[in-house]
Amino acid sequence: MTPAELEAVAVKSFAERYGSQPSIASCAPGRVELLGNHTDYNGGLVMAAAIDRYTAVVGRPRPNREGHVYALDFDGSHHFPLADITRGEVGGWPNYVKGVVWAIQEALGSELTSGFEMVLAGDVPLGAGLSSSASLQAAVAFFLLQSGVAPGRDIEQYEGEVSDPARMDLAMVLRRSENAFVGVSSGLLDQFSSLFGKADHALFLDCQSLEFDRLPLGDPGPAIVVCDSKTSRRLADGMYNRRFAECQAIVSYFRDLDGGDAVRLLRDVSLSDLERRHVLTENERVRQGVSALNAGDLKGFGRLISASHASSRDDFENSSPALDALVEAAEAAPGFLGGKLSGAGWAGCTVNLVEADKAEAFAEVVAAGYSKTQGVTPDVHVCHAAEGASSRRLTH
Q: Which residues pair with 115 in a beta bridge?
A: 62
E strands within the chain?
24-35, 45-62, 66-71, 76-81, 115-122, 201-206, 212-216, 223-228, 336-341, 349-354, 379-383, 390-393
**C-alpha span between 244 and 42 (Å, rounded):** 9
Residue of 386, 395, 343 lying closest to 27 (CA atoms): 386
At 275-311, the pLDDT tens digits run: 447 777 889 999 999 999 999 999 999 999 999 999 8
Query: Which is the catalytic residue, given 190, 200, 258, 268?
Result: 190
Per-residue pLDDT at 2: 93
Euclidean distance between CA atoms 117 and 113, whole angstroms: 14
DSSP at 378: P
CA atoms within a 13 Å half-sphere pointing along the CA-CB vector of 303: 5
Residue 57 half-sphere exposure toward CB, CA atoms < 13 A: 31
Tell me whether domains 3-216+386-393 and 223-383 share a fold: no
User: pLDDT digits over 329-352, tens only?
Assistant: 999 999 999 999 987 777 888 999
At residue 223, the pLDDT reads 98
Q: What is the pLDDT of residue 40?
A: 82
Q: Which residues of the chain have pLDDT under 50?
A: 235, 271, 275-276
Each domain of the chain, given as residue ranges in start order, spans 3-216+386-393, 223-383
**How many helices and strands (H and E) does the chain possess?**
10, 12
CATH architecture classification, 3-216+386-393: 2-Layer Sandwich (3.30)
**Cα torsion angle, 82, 85, 89, 93, sign:** positive
What is the domain class of 223-383 according to CATH?
alpha beta
Rounded distance between C-alpha atoms, residue 300 and residue 292, angstroms: 6
Instruction: Please give the pLDDT value at position 275.
Output: 44
- Known catalytic residue at 190: yes
